[in-house]
Amino acid sequence: MTTKQRAYLKSLAMKIDPIFQIGKSSMTPGLTQAIDEALEARELIKISVLNNCGDDPRELAEIISERTHSQIVQVIGKKIVLYREGKDEKKKIMLPL
């Protein structure tokens, strides 16, 4: 992913609300599955890490990214933004070259 593409995704992410919250139970298989399905449907998602979660948001982003085969767009404070390109017929976001 180029710097220009990452900047474009960051600008899109500013307008969306977090659709998942990670709390004290941290990462569960069910949450991983739900995030995977959300990436399939939306391509770009934002996740909020709650204060009662003892894990580092950057480490959580790495784990989620690895498990869902997605890319980390950014981690700011307790917010994680992930992107996974959709299949050709389901593609919603057109990245700049």
Print the SS3 string covering 25-73: CCCCHHHHHHHHHHHHHHCEEEEEECCCCCCCHHHHHHHHHHHHCCEEE
Structure tokens at 45: 């998602």
Note the pLDDT of residue 46: 97
Model's pTM, two decimal places? 0.91
Query: pLDDT tens digits, the chain, 97 residues: what are they?
Result: 889 999 999 999 999 999 999 998 888 899 999 999 999 999 999 999 999 988 999 999 999 999 999 999 999 999 999 999 987 676 788 888 8
CA angle 14–18–22, rounded 5-degree value: 135
Note the pLDDT of residue 25: 84
Question: Residue 60 falls within a domain, yes or no?
Answer: yes
Note the pLDDT of residue 49: 94
Q: How many domains does the chain have?
A: 1
Question: Residue 71 falls within a domain, yes or no?
Answer: yes
Question: Residue 54 falls within a domain, yes or no?
Answer: yes
Question: Residue 40 falls within a domain, yes or no?
Answer: yes
Note the pLDDT of residue 34: 95
What is the span of the domain harbouring residue 20? Answer: 3-86
CATH number where 31 lies:
3.30.110.60
Question: Residue 92 falls within a domain, yes or no?
Answer: no
